[in-house]
Amino acid sequence: MVSTAPDGRAGIDAALVERLIAAQFPQWRGLPVTPVEVDGWDNRTYRLGDAMTVRLPTAAGYVPAIDKENRWLPRLAPSLPVAIPAVVGSGVPGEGYPFPWSVRGWIEGETVARAGVADRTRFAISVAEFILALQRCDAAGGPLAAEHSFYRGASPAHYDDETRRCLTVLKGRVDTERAAEVWESALAAEWRGAPVWFHGDIASGNLLVVDGELTAVIDFGTSGVGDPACDLVIAWTFFAGADREAFRGAVGQDGAMWARARGWALWKALLVLSECIDTDQRQAAVQRRVVEEVLADHRR
């Protein structure tokens, strides 16, 4: 078997995974190893038999997430309303692969990005309930927002230079004057609460559904303890209209939290748009829509 990845990131393919399993987890030697149908960029994921997956970072910058998830996911799981990945084995560098890696239990379901849901309002409330449950988890000793979370959970000011560069690049192509107002509002709305758990990437590709119901949340690589405003970005990247309002009402949060959330959504949309505006019309249209929705929300 060979990897379906077009670029062989970090030299990862199914044959490597088979060698790692044989060397470090001989009890699972011989189980079929197959690429998952939809994979991420930070990590490569393979099915291991019917009940497990293997997750391997593609670069050194993603390695801290492995130790973090191995340590904290078992502690968070009992307090959450839906499943999260269960770590069943911790691998070490070997067979020419330089990073730690992990074996997790397989979680049934499809991402909502692919499967969709019929009752989006119900789904929006379920996502809000997960976010609130995560915030209620004991944060004592948790990993404070920093480089390991790519500064999700910290102040959006970490990306101030990058955002202003994007505003310059996109001047005349989006409403950069109003976008700058949104960004300034996000920076001014400082987080003053006690640190709480955040996921860091509540996105349609990380939410699993079965029969239209939220059943699991995956990929805690950017999780940590700090300001949870980054977890509200899905309000503009996936929800709209009535389901956005349902999400907003269910998740609560004060005006300052929403101001910072708009900043997080704007930063990412401007960054991606600045990179694809002349090369990928489909992606550019998606990011333009997010920018427009955030600006409209700011005017409310």
Q: Where are the alpha helices (DSSP H) in the chain?
A: 14-24, 63-76, 112-115, 120-136, 160-169, 176-188, 234-237, 241-251, 255-276, 281-299
Distance, CA of 156 to CA of 260 (rounded, Å): 7
Closest residue by Cα to residue 165 from 77, 27, 274: 274
254 band by pLDDT with thresholds 50, 70 and 90: very high
129 band by pLDDT with thresholds 50, 70 and 90: very high
Is the pLDDT at 92 greater than 80? The verdict is yes
The larger pLDDT score, comparing residue 143 to residue 43, is at 143
DSSP state of 185: H
1 band by pLDDT with thresholds 50, 70 and 90: very low
Closest residue by Cα to residue 230 from 176, 155, 167, 172: 155
9 band by pLDDT with thresholds 50, 70 and 90: low
Q: What is the dihedral of CA 227, 229, 231, 235, to 10 degrees?
A: 170
pLDDT at res. 42: 84
Spell out the domains of the chain, with CATH numbers in brackets: 9-107 (3.30.200.20), 111-299 (3.90.1200.10)
Neighbours of 204 (CB within 10 A): 17
For 157-176, write each residue's pLDDT tens digit.
Answer: 999 999 999 999 999 999 99
Neighbours of 225 (CB within 10 A): 22
- Average pLDDT value for the chain: 94
Mean pLDDT of 179-201: 97
Mean pLDDT of 251-274: 97
206, with CB counted inside 10 A (0-12, 13-18, 19+), is buried
- Cα of first residue to Cα of last residue in the chain, in angstroms, is 54
Is the pLDDT at 5 greater than 70? The verdict is no
Instruction: Please name the helix (run of DSSP H) or strand (run of DSSP E) that holds residue 56, with its range, or none.
Output: strand 52-57
Distance, CA of 2 to CA of 8 (rounded, Å): 10
Is the pLDDT at 126 greater than 60? The verdict is yes
Residue 140 structure tokens: 């004592």
pLDDT at res. 299: 86
Q: Which residue has the tokens 């748009």?
A: 273
Closest residue by Cα to residue 256 from 159, 156, 166, 160: 156
